[in-house]
Amino acid sequence: MSFFGLIIKNLARQRVRTGLTVLGISLGITTVVALGVITGSLKSTAGEILQMGGADFMVAQEGAADLSFSIVSEEDASALGARADVQRAEGALFHIARVGSNPFFFVVGRRAEDIAANPPQLTAGRTWRADAGAEVMLGARAASSLGVTVGDSVTIEKRDFSVVGIYQTGRLYEDGGAYVPLAVAQAMAAKAGVVTAVFITVKPGEDPVAVAAGIERDFPNLSTISNVGEYGKVDQGVRMLDAGNLAISVLAVGIGAIGVMNTMAMSVFERTREIGILRAVGWSGRRILRMIISESLVLCLVSAVAGSGLGVLATRAVLLIDTVRNLLEPQYTPDVFIRGLVVAVVVALLGAAYPAFRAVRLAPMEALRYE
Amino acid sequence: MSERRLVVEMRGVVKAFEGGRVRALDGADLQVAAGEFVAVVGPSGCGKSTLLHLIAALDRPDAGTIIVNGEDLAEERDLCKHRAQEVGLVFQMDNLLPTLSASENVQVPMFEIGLPARRRRQRAETLLGLVGLEGKGHNRPAELSGGERQRVAMARALANEPGILLADEPTGRLDSASGRRILDLLEQLRRERGLTVVLVTHDPAVADRADRIVRMLDGRIVEEAGARPAGAASRAARP
Ligand SMILES: Nc1ncnc2c1ncn2[C@@H]1O[C@H](COP(=O)(O)OP(=O)(O)O)[C@@H](O)[C@H]1O
Ligand SMILES: [Mg+2]
């Protein structure tokens, strides 16, 4: 019999209790993993916006609660383009519209000259011409989910557009949405003369970090975002996702630890006499400690595996909802599972600490007389 | 006996319970030489079990000194090593772990001396053979008779080859044949390995096989005698 075998035996003696504890912790881990996958995917989708047109970084309104609320004047956009260290500055207006059953249809208003200077990869048709009021380019995903192709027409917020081209960028928001001329988007959003963000490509040889710092210095009303980590600067949504994620993890740890503590405390309590016997035949306090902590760790690691599996299934299930599918592509990155594992280990250690301490403190004779 | 090395020396040992109201040991003195077989007798509640528990370092005395193998237990830092290797204890109740098989019960103390799993299993098998339980290694305590359980406990006490075996009425629940078998085994271990045995018993026939009988009353050793000549006399003596 190995030490590990002994631990498994100890856990197996109260199958129902062990099973229910594992179930409880698994559900906690499921929440942590599923939430991690979904927020991670949302952030990565959000991060894709930064790369629009292959820019180095994005400039948005300082302190805007959400990127969609960000407003940058076209003058500022031109001023940015005129900077000596900037190669190209493209202002774009984002507008979220309902199209068909999709309430998150992403309409991007772009200037024809920007499209011409930096054309998207087309899978069909052509780009729209300057001042083509009723022409639209559709992302490949949008075209296929709407079931339309070049020459067909689509209705976006009561405006009829004819589809002139289909593009593919590999970025979820854009491929699930449409490009319309900037003026059209400004009219749809009732935001004349402004854009949501400006995408900056620096001159060759310039350091994007230095350029971004220079822009923030010269335009106190603007904020530069180079990576998803900085997204919180303008997007409360991302900040809230992070905070919610952390809160759920802390909650999962707290609830899980109490559950494990309850289970382990009961199990130690029931085995008082046996622990006395182990002490009497020479087991050290350290070995008793190792036994209890190992039992707790095994419980939680099994839960981590089960919870991760359930978490993946849960995200798959959520993706059956159309709306969600248009917003995110699930990303099962290792860090989400590592977080689940860390939660499990913390739960195991926190939950076992007190029962193990009690077990070690038992005097052998006291324990042996316990009925 | 006096020229042999002392393995147990107790002097003026006091152990009280329940805030001093019960004095289980009240100035007990006992000396045991290496390889000796000492039987401890006395009425129920006179402190026999407490005496063994203190020698096994399961508890600390309130006064007095206990020296085992030259080490004062009050100064011994590693009581676990003492319990695991210096002494083997067979409890009055068998005190086996109910969820483990007989073989696993015998292996439990071996964790502390770092034997690999295979060696643990082999040694447990040998020990179970020694106490006449070959083939019963897979049985759980609940599947064994009281006598068999007591023999498993004996095998467990011998797991780490201690120099001193402390046995608390080990034959109490055995039929006379198995009781004899246990005593024969102890005899053999004494001869072959120089095992020292301190055995608590109520059975005069068992006590008569000892080198020396120690009689206890109210927490003290009241009489010591060589077994055969003193056996009859001690029954008549009143302190
Ligand atoms: N842990 C304990 N707590 C309280 N009383 C105890 C404890 N251990 C022993 N005693 C008491 O001490 C006395 C001696 O007990 P014990 O050594 O078991 O006697 P014996 O083994 O000779 O029957 C008894 O009165 C018993 O009730
Ligand atoms: Mg007793």
pLDDT tens per residue, range B104-130: 999 999 999 989 999 999 999 999 998
Atom of ligand 1 nearest to the CA of B44: 23
**pLDDT score recorded for residue A39:** 84
**pLDDT score recorded for residue B31:** 95
Digit-coded pLDDT (tens) for A324-357: 776 777 889 898 999 899 999 999 999 999 999 9
Structurally, chain A folds into a number of domains equal to 2
In angstroms, the separation between the Cα of residue A251 and the nearest Cα of chain B is 36
The values of phi and psi at residue A200, to 5°, are -105, 130
How many residues comprise chain B?
239
Which ligand minimizes its atom distance to the CA of B17? 1
Between the alpha carbon of residue A84 and those of residues A88, A117, A188, A201, B194, the distances in Å are 10, 19, 33, 12, 97
Which of B220, B223, B239, B222 shows the shortest CA–CA distance to B27? B220
Instruction: Please judge whether A280 and B89 are an interchain contact, meaning their C-beta atoms are less than 8 angstroms apart.
Output: yes
Residues of B in contact with A291 (CB under 8 A): none
Which residue minimizes the CA distance to atom 18 of ligand 1? B49
Positions of chain A with pLDDT under 50: none
Which ligand minimizes its atom distance to the CA of B41? 1
Cα angle B49, B50, B52; round to 5? 65
A82 plus A187 within the same structural domain: yes
**Percentage with pLDDT > 70 across chain B:** 93
Question: For residue B60, how far is its CA from the centre of ligand 2 (angstroms)?
Answer: 17
**pLDDT score recorded for residue B1:** 47
A151 plus A124 within the same structural domain: yes
Question: For residue A275, how far is its CA from the centre of ligand 2 (angstroms)?
Answer: 21
Q: Does residue A300 lie within any of the structural domains?
A: yes
- Closest chain B residue to A279 measured between Cα atoms? B80
Instruction: Please judge whether B112 and A282 are an interchain contact, meaning their C-beta atoms are less than 8 angstroms apart.
Output: yes
| Residues of the domain holding A174 | 57-225
A80 plus A184 within the same structural domain: yes
A210 plus A67 within the same structural domain: yes
Q: Does residue A247 lie within any of the structural domains?
A: yes
A246 plus A98 within the same structural domain: no
The answer, for A282 touching chain B at a CB cutoff of 8 Å, is yes
3-class SS at B74?
coil
Instruction: Please judge whether A368 and B95 are an interchain contact, meaning their C-beta atoms are less than 8 angstroms apart.
Output: yes
Atom of ligand 1 nearest to the CA of B46: 22
pLDDT, one tens digit for every residue, chain B (239 residues): 445 789 999 999 999 999 889 999 999 999 999 999 999 999 999 999 999 999 999 999 999 999 999 999 998 888 888 998 999 999 988 899 999 999 999 999 999 998 999 999 999 999 999 888 999 999 999 999 888 998 999 999 999 999 999 999 887 777 788 788 888 888 888 988 899 999 999 888 889 989 999 999 999 999 887 754 433 333 333 33
A262 plus A115 within the same structural domain: no
Instruction: Please judge whether B80 and A283 are an interchain contact, meaning their C-beta atoms are less than 8 angstroms apart.
Output: yes
Instruction: Please judge whether A279 and B83 are an interchain contact, meaning their C-beta atoms are less than 8 angstroms apart.
Output: yes
Question: For residue B54, how far is its CA from the centre of ligand 2 (angstroms)?
Answer: 13
A115 plus A218 within the same structural domain: yes
Atom of ligand 1 nearest to the CA of B48: 22
Which of B49, B55, B90 to probe ligand 1 with, by most ligand atoms within 8 A of CB?
B49
Q: What is the 3-state secondary structure (H, E, C) of A38-96?
A: HHHHHHHHHHHHHCHHHCCEEEEECCCCCHHHCCEEHHHHHHHHCCCCEEEEEEEEEEE
Question: For residue B231, how far is its CA from the centre of ligand 1 (angstroms)?
Answer: 26
- Closest chain A residue to B116 measured between Cα atoms? A2
**pLDDT score recorded for residue A235:** 66
Which ligand minimizes its atom distance to the CA of A363? 1
Residues of A in contact with B100 (CB under 8 A): 1, 6, 9
**pLDDT score recorded for residue A68:** 76
Which ligand minimizes its atom distance to the CA of A367? 1
Instruction: Please judge whether A1 and B117 are an interchain contact, meaning their C-beta atoms are less than 8 angstroms apart.
Output: yes
Q: Does residue A181 lie within any of the structural domains?
A: yes
Last residue of a domain, one of A161, A195, A225: A225
What are the structure tokens assigned to B15, written together?
Answer: 């152990």
Question: For residue B120, how far is its CA from the centre of ligand 1 (angstroms)?
Answer: 34
User: Which of B50, B111, B118, B128 to mutate: most A Cβ within 10 Å?
Assistant: B111
A83 plus A215 within the same structural domain: yes
Last residue of a domain, one of A201, A225, A249: A225
The model carries a pTM of: 0.80
Q: Does residue A52 lie within any of the structural domains?
A: no
Q: Is B2 in the pocket of ligand 1 (CB under 6 A)?
A: no
Instruction: Please judge whether B95 and A277 are an interchain contact, meaning their C-beta atoms are less than 8 angstroms apart.
Output: yes
Last residue of a domain, one of A191, A225, A259: A225
Instruction: Please judge whether A2 and B117 are an interchain contact, meaning their C-beta atoms are less than 8 angstroms apart.
Output: yes
A31 plus A119 within the same structural domain: no
**pLDDT score recorded for residue B237:** 38
Q: Does residue A215 lie within any of the structural domains?
A: yes
Which of B15, B50, B198 to probe ligand 1 with, by most ligand atoms within 8 A of CB?
B50
In angstroms, the separation between the Cα of residue A14 and the nearest Cα of chain B is 11
A82 plus A210 within the same structural domain: yes
Q: Does residue A51 lie within any of the structural domains?
A: no
Digit-coded pLDDT (tens) for B148-172: 998 999 999 999 999 999 999 887 7
A213 plus A64 within the same structural domain: yes
**pLDDT score recorded for residue B232:** 38
A67 plus A166 within the same structural domain: yes
Q: Does residue A232 lie within any of the structural domains?
A: no
Spatial separation of the C-alpha atoms in residues B209 and B217, rounded to whole Å: 21
Q: Does residue A155 lie within any of the structural domains?
A: yes
**pLDDT score recorded for residue B239:** 39
Run of H or E including B148: helix B146-157
Q: Is B17 in the pocket of ligand 1 (CB under 6 A)?
A: yes
